[in-house]
Amino acid sequence: MKRDPAYAELHCISNYSFLRGASHPEELVARAAEQGYTALALTDECSLAGVVRAHQEARRQGLKLIIGTEIRLTGGPRLVLLARNRRGYVQLCRLITRGRRRADKGHYVLARADLEQGLEDCLALLLLRWGEDAAAGWFQSCFAGRGWLALGLLRDGRDTGLLRQARHLSERHRLPLVAVGHVLMHRRGRRMLRDLLTAIRHGCTIDALGWRALDNGERHLRSRENLAALYPQELMQQALVIAGQCDFSLDELAYEYPDDVTPAGMSAQDYLRSLVEEGIRRRWPQGCPEKVRRQIEHELPLIAELNYAAYFLTVWDLVAFARQRGILCQGRGSAANSAVCYCLGITEVDPARMNLLFERFISRERGEPPDIDVDFEHERREEVIQYIYEKYGRERAALAATVISYRPRSALRDVGKALGLTTGQLEQLARAASGWRSHREVQGEWLREQGFDPDSKLIRRLLYLVNEIQGFPRHLSQHVGGFVISRGGLDELVPVENAAMPDRSIIQWDKDDLEALGLLKVDVLALGMLSAIRRALVMLGRELQDIPAEDPRVYDMICRADTVGVFQIESRAQMSMLPRLRPRCFYDLVVEVAIVRPGPIQGDMVHPYLRRRQGLEAVDYPSDAVRDVLARTLGVPIFQEQVIRLTQVAAGFSPGEADQIRRSMAAWRRRGGMEVWERKLKAGMQARGYSVAFAERIFRQIQGFGEYGFPESHAASFALLVYVSAWIKCHHPAVFACALLNSQPMGFYAPAQLVRDAREHGVEVLPVDVLHSDWDCRLEGSVLRLGLRLVKGLSRAGAERLVTERGQADFSSVQELAARTGIRSSDLKALAAADALASLEADRYRANWAVAGSESGLPLLQAAAFAEARPDLPVPDEASQVLADYAHLGLSLRTHPLALLRPELGRLRFLPAEEVGHRKPGSMVRAAGLVLTRQRPGKGNAVFITLEDETGTLNLIVWRHLAERQRQVLLGAKLLGVWAEIQRAEGVQHLVVRRLYDYSGLLGELPLHSRDFR
């Protein structure tokens, strides 16, 4: 039987050549292995963004992966460059970096001169095109002895002529020929998708592609039999020769973290030890607890063994810089499991109060780098970022990338446009995938709701392409704060390119790529609550450590779910849990933060924990070992660390195996494959005397963590901020409201809800006023004065000029204000529209007239005085004032909008929220309110909505079947009416909705924006 000849594909484009390649890197590698290829070169255009994914799949498949890139030279030919060894890989990275850094994001610029030196360890292929031969001479001189003419035969009617041209050039320039496939997709069936991508890239319809469309489906990974029928054998053999010369793997990358912090004459480990000892004295002036000392002496040797000291010092340096600048910051995540991090001041979770699991952070068996996340004030994080760039330079520091991929809404828009749909139809398509449908396969019924016929040929084609393109990468963006910093040039590890933001650089790999290769990063993250807490502490003249611990009044407030604005426990789900869990100490807050998450909910941990906490269910432990792990959470695993420990003490897993099961949790949900772990876990438990029922329950709870569960260390870090923000709200509500308003945008609630909550807590709130307001909101004694920052359309520069000039003397008229400040007419109009000129003019109408009259005239007339009579303007009524307040401030201190509509709502038999609270559980009621939030947590069996009227708020449950049936009303209504059943238990009330009504028309032009599905 004749064997197919061996072959290596040397020119292959994945979908990380954005909008060019029509297959994922993993698909290409798997298909090449299936076809029996000897090797595959991934050669995305001026990019190595997909190579880590290809590398991982190649390891699984046992296929040799060659790393390369395709380059299109300015005014010149296209080439493929392949890394022959580690030096060649560095040369590729530097070349790609050079080309990308010269151009705006998403583009590159390279000329022939860039290739004429510095690529000595790279092999090169000149991609032949019909009728083009001008570059062959230059190519031969540049890559003599390591250059080939690459011939791709695609059955497009030009193969014979192209082969003749290739042989002529080969003989003329003494360049060997090699067979390539010009691969764009792993299978022929992706041809339609490839044409779609081309249309999107060129901004035209598929029908208008013309010559830009593929001639046929040949640009896929063809069988070796197919290739042998096309190519002379010596050309396929030459591909193997080239593949044999390429001997580099990403496994060879050696990464060294920078050591710019360690003083001369000291090792990084010795300096780390000295800082830890200093931190011990600062944290425990009366002496370090023995438990903590043992933990530190466990951690430091492991840090030394794994050579991570420089990493810890780098993060310590960032935190020290922030503290020096007065920037509030706190580490979180698995780093909070480290006593060393606590001593360094990186985290604030006291190891004396918690049961830390350092192996959740660093593990010898796991062999992967630690990942320290540090939150900084969201308004001042940029100072820390610029410090990093100044200290290390853009050559050694860059942000990790984030891959932006197609989701239903973006896919519907781009595919619809490529199929020729109108702008109006594209908007309809996008609405079909709004809300909770943003991460699902698009269904024909969704489009039917928007007036499309899913059975038509066009819409069937659209549906197919939309679901094919979902998950395809669209472009690279910057990670929210993950920095990679290197000892040498970063472009020796990975290409670096410009980000969209000025003075920012990103590498071409995302966080998953970094983790796969064991590269360290530090997350410099932004947290709005830290900004608010810092502002509040400044107003109070306190430091964070001055906040008294375990204040009963704070816990009383939390148990009442009086937590609007409080960090983490302000959401609808958290506020519903608080009266049931009734936190009375800090550890209860740690549990509260973690328990309202998909993991514990899906794992059926919430109800058993609550029943045991309330004494309705006995707390039992099948062994003392399990008791040690679960005693603090009443026998129910709430945290990831408990899952890890349980697998060790109950099933006999090693620490490395236990951590591997944690790492596999999310993958189970996506790909399955938990059966092996299930068998091992259950067998291990039963072998140690645990019952089948216990093993089943524990495994079910572990499965739940696949839907996302919190590590205890992370929850503890967040719980600290929960307590501090709750203490400020409890004891200083005016300060709390002021700090939150000045830190916007952040948090769960808009300024309107924050101001309303403050007033309900007895805080007097005064309006924005040009004679009294600063840019920020501020306290006038115990009274909260709203700031100019709330005025929509007012520039900060204009506001600051106003405040500065007012400091010299008050204004007596709008004309004087305009003349003295010289602010723009648009700023004056914004102040008038927001009623901020009320101290100078009686009402908005007169303020608007005065502003119009204050505009500068011609120079000739500026000295002339006019005694202009004022028109007899009407006085604005309450409704128009409220409407204008919301339009220009986002809130109103006047009547609530629904108080004005109450007569009409009463006629429609809608009860106020307050009256609903007096009705018996089980009663059916009609109620209506402004939509504040829409949420769909977990697996999405229900949508949760919060309504507000003039008397309070209502929490709705809309079950999935009704949400789908009345989806347009549910998503579109600003004033939502419901027919619902009252459910009330343990101090928590919900309305289970039976019918939805949209009465948004009653609001007129009232501008309202809800917080939906975040």
**pLDDT tens digits for range 309-332:** 998 999 999 999 999 999 999 988
3-class secondary structure, 977: strand
Contact 744, 787 (CB under 8 A): no
Residues 334 and 423 in one domain: no
Run of H or E including 784: strand 783-785
Whose CA is closest to 746, among 590, 534, 968? 534
Q: Position 644: which residue type?
A: I
Contact 790, 887 (CB under 8 A): no
Q: Which residues contact 421 (CB under 8 A, 6 or more apart)?
A: 429
Residues 884 and 944 in one domain: no
- Buried residues in 2-17 as b, exposed as e (16+ CB within 10 A): eeeeebbbbbbbbbbb
Residues 78 and 28 in one domain: yes
Domain containing residue 909: CATH number: 2.40.50.140
Confidence tier at 861 by pLDDT (50, 70, 90)? very low
With respect to residue 991, please indicate whether it lies within any of the assigned structural domains.
Answer: yes
Contact 292, 351 (CB under 8 A): yes
Tell me what pLDDT residue 939 has: 60
Q: For residues 70 and 76, what is the distance between their CA atoms, to the nearest angstrom?
A: 13
Residues 324 and 452 in one domain: no
Residues 416 and 457 in one domain: yes
Q: Is the dihedral of CA 103, 108, 113, 118 positive or negative?
A: positive
Question: Which of 57-71, 463-477, 702-716 is least confident?
Answer: 702-716
Last residue of some domain: 840, 868, 889? 889
- Express as a percent the part of the chain with pLDDT over 70: 92
Residues 838 and 922 in one domain: no
Tell me what pLDDT residue 873 has: 80
Tell me what pLDDT residue 521 has: 85
Q: Which residues contact 827 (CB under 8 A, 6 or more apart)?
A: 793, 794, 795, 798, 799
With respect to residue 1012, please indicate whether it lies within any of the assigned structural domains.
Answer: no
> Stretch 421-439: mean pLDDT, rounded?
82
Tell me what pLDDT residue 978 has: 96
With respect to residue 987, please indicate whether it lies within any of the assigned structural domains.
Answer: yes
**pLDDT tens digits for range 365-416:** 666 667 788 999 999 999 999 999 999 998 999 999 999 999 999 999 999 9
Residues 448 and 466 in one domain: yes
Run of H or E including 1012: strand 1011-1012
Q: Position 845: which residue type?
A: Y
**Residue 930 β-bridge partners:** 948, 975
Residues 670 and 814 in one domain: no
**pLDDT tens digits for range 90-130:** 999 999 999 999 999 899 999 999 999 899 999 999 999 87
Residues 884 and 901 in one domain: no
Tokens of 558: 């939390």
Tell me what pLDDT residue 190 has: 97
With respect to residue 498, please indicate whether it lies within any of the assigned structural domains.
Answer: no
Confidence tier at 355 by pLDDT (50, 70, 90)? low
Whose CA is closest to 359, among 653, 707, 685, 706? 653
Average pLDDT value over all residues in the chain: 89
Q: In the predicted model, is pLDDT for residue 672 greater than 90?
A: no
Whose CA is closest to 977, among 929, 932, 1010? 929
Residues 702 and 784 in one domain: no
Question: Percentage helix, strand, coil, to 5, in the chain?
Answer: 50, 15, 40
> Stretch 873-890: mean pLDDT, rounded?
90
> Stretch 997-1005: mean pLDDT, rounded?
92
Q: For residues 99 and 108, what is the distance between their CA atoms, to the nearest angstrom?
A: 5
With respect to residue 848, please indicate whether it lies within any of the assigned structural domains.
Answer: yes
Domain containing residue 53: CATH number: 3.20.20.140
Confidence tier at 600 by pLDDT (50, 70, 90)? low
Residues 844 and 910 in one domain: no
Contact 255, 492 (CB under 8 A): no
Please state the domain count of the chain: 6
Question: Which of 589-598, 641-650, 662-671, 726-735 is least confident?
Answer: 662-671
Residues 123 and 229 in one domain: yes
**pLDDT tens digits for range 499-546:** 888 878 999 999 889 988 888 888 999 999 999 999 999 999 999 888
Contact 976, 898 (CB under 8 A): no
With respect to residue 541, please indicate whether it lies within any of the assigned structural domains.
Answer: no
Cβ atoms within 10 A of the Cβ of 781, count? 8
List, edge to edge, every strand of the sheet that includes 39-42.
Answer: 8-9, 39-42, 64-72, 78-83, 122-127, 147-151, 177-179
Q: For residues 388 and 383, what is the distance between their CA atoms, to the nearest angstrom?
A: 9
With respect to residue 1011, please indicate whether it lies within any of the assigned structural domains.
Answer: no
Structural domain of residue 770, as residue ranges?
Answer: 749-855+876-889
Q: In the predicted model, is pLDDT for residue 890 greater than 90?
A: yes
With respect to residue 727, please indicate whether it lies within any of the assigned structural domains.
Answer: no
Question: Which of 194-208, 557-571, 865-879 is least confident?
Answer: 865-879
**pLDDT tens digits for range 249-289:** 999 997 778 889 999 999 999 999 999 999 999 999 999 99
> Stretch 431-454: mean pLDDT, rounded?
81
Run of H or E including 731: helix 712-731
DSSP string of 362-428, one letter each residue: --TTT-----EEEEEETTTHHHHHHHHHHHH-TTTEEEEEEEEE--HHHHHHHHHHHTT--HHHHHH
What are the CA-CA distances from residue 558 to residues 726, 729, 751 (Å)? 8, 10, 21
